[in-house]
């Protein structure tokens, strides 16, 4: 099993193992030295013990000699000598006892020696007393001396026993010291050798575990820098392995980033390329095929300026030079040729790398954008031209009414130069404006926002003139603004007035003589003024009929003109449909009878109401019914149906006449349109009836139409909004 350690653990081992070994080595060495010291001390001690034993033995010997001398001479010198020796014997014994007292094996010998010593001392004391007595005592001394010899011998024997070990130690001392020294030397040699071995082992351990790994790591770092494949990951869990894993992750990430970058470059819609100092493509993305029609291989090695059209070459070259001289990044537009010689406008975003002596570019096709920009510019020119040439005064104001912009027509209409009104309140162009503080502007916004208000404005010279004034909101970068559209309608109003007067005059001037003619002819036709002959009656009838036709034409023309100009004032009210139908049918009934046509009314809900001008709707229904009768074959039926829905009511006039050809359906509601030119003559009518009907229905916010099949009849219909429920009803 391989133990995986971190570097710090390995470092710890590197320090701890030799240290531990040194400690053990020192401890053992210290033990050996202490052992040698002990042996030396033991040798010295043994020598002392032997010496002291000899001394004790010598004392007894000397005491015996002194006692003999004293016994022989009675000399006080021997006595003193004797006393002195005897007195030192216990001291000497105690000293010896102290020296060997620690050794338990010698305690028995020591005890016996003590007994023999005390016996010896007693014998010596007894002998001294015997000598002091003299006489027989001397013979006693002799026997005591013999006893003394025995005791002395015992003491010598015990001393020999006691000092036998010491003597052995003393004898063995040099050998033991030598042995000990040798052991120390051997141990030192082993220790040094082991230390060297350990150093080699640990070095190998580190070399194998760290240095080699560091080498791999360095190599991987270099490979990473060169974007080369890395060696296999270093095994283990230590910091180096971890760092190596980081390098591998970095390498993977870089490879991934590189793959993505390559994918981006290869799939980018824009061309990505590098261009060297000679302006030649060194690398180029596949998008060049789409942009210029060339494969990358066709462009690499060619000068990019070859693509640029001759008019733009100089400008492009200047931009490139500026880039290289220190600008570093730049964007410039050039027109370039495609392979098929069509022109494509390109926006170059370029970066100059001095270290690589290359230009890195992104070329973006802006042909479409340029076209749009051109179109926008053209559109702007057009709009500007319209604004500047329109006959409508346009004034841009803020929400407080302060004027920010005026068009030339404003200057013309109001007689102010632009600078005189800019930053002024638009209120100065109105007669009733007093100050910006009053609520005039607020009311103006309420009145004219999103709709046309008929107002009176004031020119610089104080002249008042009528305008159609509307405000439309405009969102700008600077916030909400409003455009005041001001149309000077003084001329139009004047024209309208003249037209009204003309119509009125014509109407009056035509009606007045027609009144006399019609009245005269009618009265003549009654026979009350005298009888005419048959031809005369016929002539008068023709004259009367055509006068009525002329009157109807004038009435229709007036109606159409008024409907077209929106001057017909409708009297809107909630009106019952049944009432409209009854009155209309009643009006047309005799006409229908004359044509032998039957009028039929479908089911009718009495309470159905419409919000309408009853008289005008009756005019429409009469017109439709009259038309239906006119174009129906004899003995046929004209049906008036009512269809009711939630929001509206539809009235249908159905005839069984000749129908309307498809191509005329859209035209029948136009003025002076009849299916056949002869209809006006054969059927009467002005060709304005349906146009009037359409005008009336549209004024009611309704709709009108026809469905028809040639040869089978027609259905004219119109729809009107239903009246709100619960309102008063006008019959």
Question: By the criterion CB under 8 A, which residues form the site for other proteins?
Answer: 504, 507-508, 511-520, 522-523, 526, 528-529, 547, 551, 555, 558, 562, 567-569, 571
CB atoms within 10 A of CB 384: 11
Alpha carbon distance, N-terminus to C-terminus of the chain: 114
Our CB check for other proteins shows the closer of 508 and 634 to be 508
Our CB check for other proteins shows the closer of 347 and 517 to be 517
Measured in whole angstroms, how far is the alpha carbon of residue 216 from the centre of its chain? Answer: 41
Our CB check for other proteins shows the closer of 214 and 551 to be 551
What distance in Å separates the CA atoms of residue 526 and residue 590, rounded to the nearest whole number? 19
Contact at 8 Å (CB) between 592 and 629? yes
Side by side, which strands form the sheet with 637-644?
A: 598-601, 637-644, 648-654, 713-721, 703-709
User: Shortest distance, CB of residue 724 to other proteins, whole angstroms?
Assistant: 24
Our CB check for other proteins shows the closer of 12 and 529 to be 529
Contact at 8 Å (CB) between 358 and 266? no
Our CB check for other proteins shows the closer of 62 and 613 to be 613
Our CB check for other proteins shows the closer of 529 and 731 to be 529
Our CB check for other proteins shows the closer of 358 and 520 to be 520
User: Shortest distance, CB of residue 416 to other proteins, whole angstroms?
Assistant: 36
What distance in Å separates the CA atoms of residue 225 and residue 251, rounded to the nearest whole number? 9
CB atoms within 10 A of CB 579: 17
Our CB check for other proteins shows the closer of 523 and 666 to be 523
What distance in Å separates the CA atoms of residue 557 and residue 507, rounded to the nearest whole number? 10
User: Shortest distance, CB of residue 554 to other proteins, whole angstroms?
Assistant: 9
What distance in Å separates the CA atoms of residue 274 and residue 348, rounded to the nearest whole number? 12
Our CB check for other proteins shows the closer of 11 and 527 to be 527
User: Shortest distance, CB of residue 521 to other proteins, whole angstroms?
Assistant: 9
User: Shortest distance, CB of residue 663 to other proteins, whole angstroms?
Assistant: 35
User: Shortest distance, CB of residue 546 to other proteins, whole angstroms?
Assistant: 13
Which stretches within 207-353 are classed as H helix? 212-225, 239-267, 288-292, 296-299, 310-322
User: Shortest distance, CB of residue 553 to other proteins, whole angstroms?
Assistant: 12
DSSP symbol at 427 = G
Helix (H, G, I), strand (E, B) or coil at 358: strand
Our CB check for other proteins shows the closer of 432 and 516 to be 516
What distance in Å separates the CA atoms of residue 336 and residue 342, rounded to the nearest whole number? 8
User: Shortest distance, CB of residue 535 to other proteins, whole angstroms?
Assistant: 22
Contact at 8 Å (CB) between 610 and 577? yes
Contact at 8 Å (CB) between 187 and 28? yes
User: Shortest distance, CB of residue 583 to other proteins, whole angstroms?
Assistant: 15
User: Shortest distance, CB of residue 673 to other proteins, whole angstroms?
Assistant: 24
What distance in Å separates the CA atoms of residue 461 and residue 425, rounded to the nearest whole number? 17
What distance in Å separates the CA atoms of residue 91 and residue 142, rounded to the nearest whole number? 27
With b for 16 or more beta-carbon neighbours within 10 A and e for fewer, the 424-436 pattern comes to bbbbbbbeebeee
């Amino acid at each position: 099993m391989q133990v995986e350690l971190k570097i710090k653990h390995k470092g710890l081992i590197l320090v701890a193992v030799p240290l531990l070994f040194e400690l053990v080595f020192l401890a053992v060495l210290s033990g050996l030295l202490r052992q040698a010291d002990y042996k030396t001390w033991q040798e010295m001690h043994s020598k002392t013990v032997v010496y002291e034993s000899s001394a004790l033995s010598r004392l007894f010997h000397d005491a015996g000699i002194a006692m003999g001398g004293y016994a022989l001479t009675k000399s006080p010198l021997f006595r003193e000598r004797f006393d002195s020796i005897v007195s030192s014997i216990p001291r000497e014994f105690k000293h010896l006892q102290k020296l060997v007292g620690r050794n338990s094996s010698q305690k028995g010998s020591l005890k016996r020696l003590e007994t023999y010593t005390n016996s010896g001392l007693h014998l010596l004391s007894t002998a001294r007393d015997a000598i002091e007595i003299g006489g027989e005592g001397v013979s006693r001394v002799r026997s005591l001396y013999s006893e003394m010899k025995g005791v002395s011998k015992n003491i010598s024997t015990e001393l020999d026993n006691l000092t036998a070990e010491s003597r052995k130690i003393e004898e063995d001392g040099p050998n033991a010291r030598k042995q000990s020294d040798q052991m120390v030397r051997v141990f030192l040699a082993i220790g040094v050798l082991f230390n060297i071995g350990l150093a080699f082992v640990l070095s190998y351990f580190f070399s194998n575990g760290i240095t080699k790994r560091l080498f791999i790591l360095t190599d991987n770092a270099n490979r990473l820098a060169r974007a080369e494949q890395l060696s296999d990951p270093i095994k283990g869990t230590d910091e180096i392995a971890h760092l190596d894993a980081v390098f591998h992750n970095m390498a993977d990430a870089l490879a991934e980033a590189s793959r993505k970058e390559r994918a981006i470059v290869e799939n980018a819609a824009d061309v990505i390329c590098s261009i060297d100092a000679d302006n030649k493509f060194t690398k180029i993305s596949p998008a060049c095929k789409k942009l210029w029609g060339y494969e990358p291989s066709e462009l690499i090695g060619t000068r990019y300026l070859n693509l640029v059209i001759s008019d733009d070459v100089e400008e492009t070259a200047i931009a490139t030079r500026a880039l290289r001289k220190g600008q570093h990044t730049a964007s410039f537009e050039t027109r370039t040729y495609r392979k098929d010689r069509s022109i494509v406008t390109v926006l170059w975003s370029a970066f100059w790398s001095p270290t690589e002596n290359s230009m890195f570019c992104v070329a973006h096709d802006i042909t479409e954008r340029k076209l749009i920009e051109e179109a926008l510019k053209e559109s702007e020119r057009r709009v500007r031209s319209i604004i500047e040439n329109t006959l409508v005064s346009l004034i841009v104001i803020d929400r407080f009414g302060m004027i920010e912009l005026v068009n030339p027509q404003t200057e013309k209409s109001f007689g102010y130069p632009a600078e005189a009104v800019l930053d002024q309140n638009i209120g100065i162009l109105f007669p009733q404006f007093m100050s910006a503080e009053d609520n005039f502007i607020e009311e103006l916004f309420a009145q004219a926002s999103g709709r046309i208000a008929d107002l009176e404005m004031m020119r610089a010279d104080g002249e008042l003139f009528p305008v159609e004034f509307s405000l439309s909101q405009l969102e700008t970068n600077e916030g909400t603004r409003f455009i005041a559209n001001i149309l000077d309608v003084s001329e139009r109003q004047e024209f309208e007035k003249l037209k009204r007067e003309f119509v009125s005059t014509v109407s009056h001037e035509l009606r007045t003589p027609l009144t006399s003619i019609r009245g005269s002819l009618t009265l003549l036709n009654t026979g009350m003024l005298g009888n005419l002959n048959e031809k005369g009656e016929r002539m008068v009838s023709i004259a009367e009929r055509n006068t009525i036709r002329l009157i109807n034409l004038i009435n229709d023309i007036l109606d159409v003109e008024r409907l077209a100009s929106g001057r017909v004032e409708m009297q809107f009210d909630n009106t019952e449909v049944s009432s409209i139908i009854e009155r209309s049918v009643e009006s047309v009934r005799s006409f229908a009878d004359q044509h032998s046509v039957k009028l039929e009314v479908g089911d009718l809900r009495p309470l159905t109401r419409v919000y309408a001008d009853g008289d005008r709707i009756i005019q429409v229904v009469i017109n439709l019914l009259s038309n239906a009768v006119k174009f129906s074959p004899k003995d046929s039926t004209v049906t008036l149906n009512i269809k009711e829905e939630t929001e509206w009511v539809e009235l249908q006039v159905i005839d069984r006449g000749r129908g309307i050809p498809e191509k005329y359906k859209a035209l029948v509601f136009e003025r002076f349109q009849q299916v056949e030119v002869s209809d006006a003559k054969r059927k009467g009518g002005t060709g304005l009836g349906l146009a009037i009907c359409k005008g009336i229905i549209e004024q009611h916010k309704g709709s009108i139409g026809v469905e028809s099949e040639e040869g089978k009849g027609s259905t004219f219909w119109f729809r009107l909004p239903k009246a709100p429920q619960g309102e008063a009803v006008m019959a």
